[in-house]
Amino acid sequence: MSVILITGAATGIGYLTAKRLAHDGHTVWASMRDPEGRNAAHAAELTEYATNAGLDLRVVALDVTSQESANRAAATVVETSGALDVVVQNAGHLYVGYVEAFTDEDIAHLIDINAIGAHRVNRAVLPYLRRQRSGTLLYVGSTIIVTTPPFLGPYVASKAAFDALAVVTSYEAAQFGIETSIVMPGAITQGTSHFPNASRASDAEVTAAYAHLDPLVERNEEATASLVRPGVNADPQGVADEISRVLALPRGQKPFRTVVDFTEAGVDHVMAFADMTRKAFVNRMGFGETLQLQK
């Protein structure tokens, strides 16, 4: 069994994954911002659940916008559990609105959370994983980098950056025996707080200039939900179950990328071809060893 750190575990996919992996028998550290303040209720619920179920599931503070916070969380896990084997990069936030109306500060802030935040966590955990020459970085990405729907521009950009950082980091991490898997959920509108907690653009004047498009934006969540065929249970638990499946696979046999898409958009086929093309290019450069997991 592994010692696992999960980011963004207060709600949604991270929360469900923490429970699932703890039930699998792992030692799970569910991280979230301010577990003694804004997320106190979520932290208390997870702690109580773990106690009642007899699980080794703990809560640790981790704000992905702070390198100090990430470093402290990683140190806490290692010092308390004596190891760190898996990091599930799940933290993220959603912006909804017109691209022009998002200021440069708006977009920089979202990229800071969704992409640079994962990099901060990697900088905190990789020293431990490199030292032991083993471990897994599992990223919860998104099919949105392929489907690219309207009115979510900054979010699409941030998830594309997140995915690219995961890929290029994998080349170097593999040389230290560290595996990478990217699990790409499709659009999910139930069981998460993504849409209800989404932020809007700061520039109200520009937003007003697009007012005739407001009816389209207002039905964004409904339109997304309509993509799921009747009878299909688009439950984010399916993503947690896929993460569990991937982590249960033997070392060296975990897929680099897997898709859980209840909208059946065909992203799995697109990414399979894209990754094949990327690997061929890297091989042609003479860097094929970066695609291989080293012992």
Q: pLDDT per position in the chain (295 positions), as tens?
A: 999 999 999 999 999 999 999 999 999 999 999 999 999 999 999 999 999 999 999 999 999 999 999 999 999 999 999 999 999 999 999 999 999 999 999 999 999 999 999 999 999 999 999 999 999 999 999 999 999 999 999 999 999 999 999 999 999 999 999 999 999 999 887 766 666 678 999 999 999 999 999 999 999 888 888 999 888 888 999 999 999 999 999 999 999 999 999 999 999 999 999 999 999 999 999 999 999 999 8
Alpha carbon of residue 234 to chain centroid: 18
CATH code of the domain in which 244 resides: 3.40.50.720
What residue numbers bound the domain in which 118 lies? 3-291
Q: How many domains does the chain have?
A: 1
15 is annotated as an active-site residue: no
15, 95, 139, 155: which is the annotated catalytic residue? 155
Distance separating alpha carbons of residues 68 and 246, to the nearest angstrom: 30
Distance separating alpha carbons of residues 85 and 96, to the nearest angstrom: 35
Distance separating alpha carbons of residues 182 and 291, to the nearest angstrom: 15
- Structural contact between residues 13 and 45, judged by C-beta atoms closer than 8 angstroms: no
Q: DSSP strand E in the chain: where?
A: 3-6, 27-32, 57-61, 86-89, 135-140, 178-185, 257-260
Determine the pLDDT at residue 198: 86
Q: DSSP strand E in 174-280: where?
A: 178-185, 257-260
Angle at 277 between CA 254 and CA 169, to 5 degrees: 50
- 205, burial (CB in 10 Å: exposed 0-12, middle 13-18, buried 19+): exposed
